[in-house]
């Protein structure tokens, strides 16, 4: 597929999605959100893609927020619809993918940009990265899942402070908060992230997809996460990956998993 606002590549089982609007600091507009949805859907359905990395073009920004000019004149109903559609199309969609998604945060991740990074399964940041949810400085609140995912990752008190002050934190602070897993020099960010991806790819894609589902269930108020774990644990026993993994272990060899 040809995209106007993003770049997509596949190399050795790793799908890379790059938001490519550097003149706008890779800000998210409706068109970019739709393109991201389409790209993630295509990569999810590609059996050869085992891990997805999402990043921003250039060295300044991952995504520096949403394109405010698109919604400055919206009504109450239009604002609610904007949040609902965005969450369904991209942010919730990414969180629920069976394929692991890693955010390589290469600069500013603000507003919708941080919300996109938080919807990924985990995050790696460059040492120049800055993160925050500045929406209240514009008279609005985070609408793409920020008020829900940030407290899950950093705790209620820190999330409240970040949201209320509309301030930014640097990469090391984000790491100390648990918002990102690793901080590396800008020049090493993608190579380091691909190194983690290569470790993930040694393991069962089927089991990883079920693990994602089980972990996510812990954060849904109307779902029993333990029950989801039990059911998905059981489902693993009916997979080719389980047969291969256990046979390889008993035969004292490395397992060779075949795909999603």
Catalytic residues: 115, 135
Cα 109 to Cα 183: distance, rounded to the nearest angstrom: 14
Ramachandran angles phi, psi of 6, nearest 5°? -135, 160
Strand order in the sheet with 14-19: 6-11, 14-19, 51-56, 101-105, 122-126, 182-184
Residue 189, judged by CB atoms within 10 A of its CB (0-12, 13-18, 19+), counts as buried
CB burial of 89-119 (b: ≥16 within 10 Å; e: otherwise) equals bbbebbbebebbbbbbbbbbbbbbbbbbbbb
Residues 98 and 130: beta-carbon distance below 8 Å: no
* Beta pairing class for 51-56 and 14-19: parallel
Q: Yes or no: say if 124 and 105 are a contact pair by the CB < 8 Å rule.
A: yes
**What are 13's two structure tokens?**
């089982």
Closest by CA position to 145, among listed 216, 232, 59: 216
């Amino acid at each position: 597929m040809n995209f106007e606002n993003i770049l997509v590549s596949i190399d050795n089982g790793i799908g890379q999605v790059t938001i490519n609007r550097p003149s706008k600091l890779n800000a998210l507009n409706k068109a970019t959100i739709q393109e991201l949805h389409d790209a993630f859907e295509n990569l999810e359905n590609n059996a050869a893609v085992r891990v997805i990395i999402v990043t921003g073009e250039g060295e300044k920004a991952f995504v520096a927020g949403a394109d405010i000019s698109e919604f400055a004149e919206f009504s109450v109903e239009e604002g609610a619809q904007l949040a609902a559609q965005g969450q369904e199309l991209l942010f919730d969609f990414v969180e629920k993918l069976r394929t692991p998604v890693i955010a390589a945060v290469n600069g500013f991740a603000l507003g919708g940009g941080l919300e996109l990074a938080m919807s990924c399964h985990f995050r790696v940041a460059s040492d120049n990265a800055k993160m925050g949810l500045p929406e209240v400085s514009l008279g609005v609140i985070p609408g793409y899942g920020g008020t829900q995912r940030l407290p899950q990752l950093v705790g209620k008190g820190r999330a409240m402070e970040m949201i209320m002050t509309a301030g930014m934190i640097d990469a090391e602070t984000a790491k100390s908060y648990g918002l990102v897993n690793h901080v590396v020099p800008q020049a090493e960010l993608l190579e380091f992230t691909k190194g983690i991806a290569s470790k993930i790819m040694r393991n069962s894609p089927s089991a990883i997809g079920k693990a994602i589902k089980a972990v996510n269930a812990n954060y849904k108020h109307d779902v029993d996460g333990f029950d989801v774990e039990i059911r998905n644990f059981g489902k693993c026993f009916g997979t080719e990956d389980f047969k291969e993994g256990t046979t390889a272990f008993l035969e004292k060899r490395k397992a060779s998993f075949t795909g999603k």
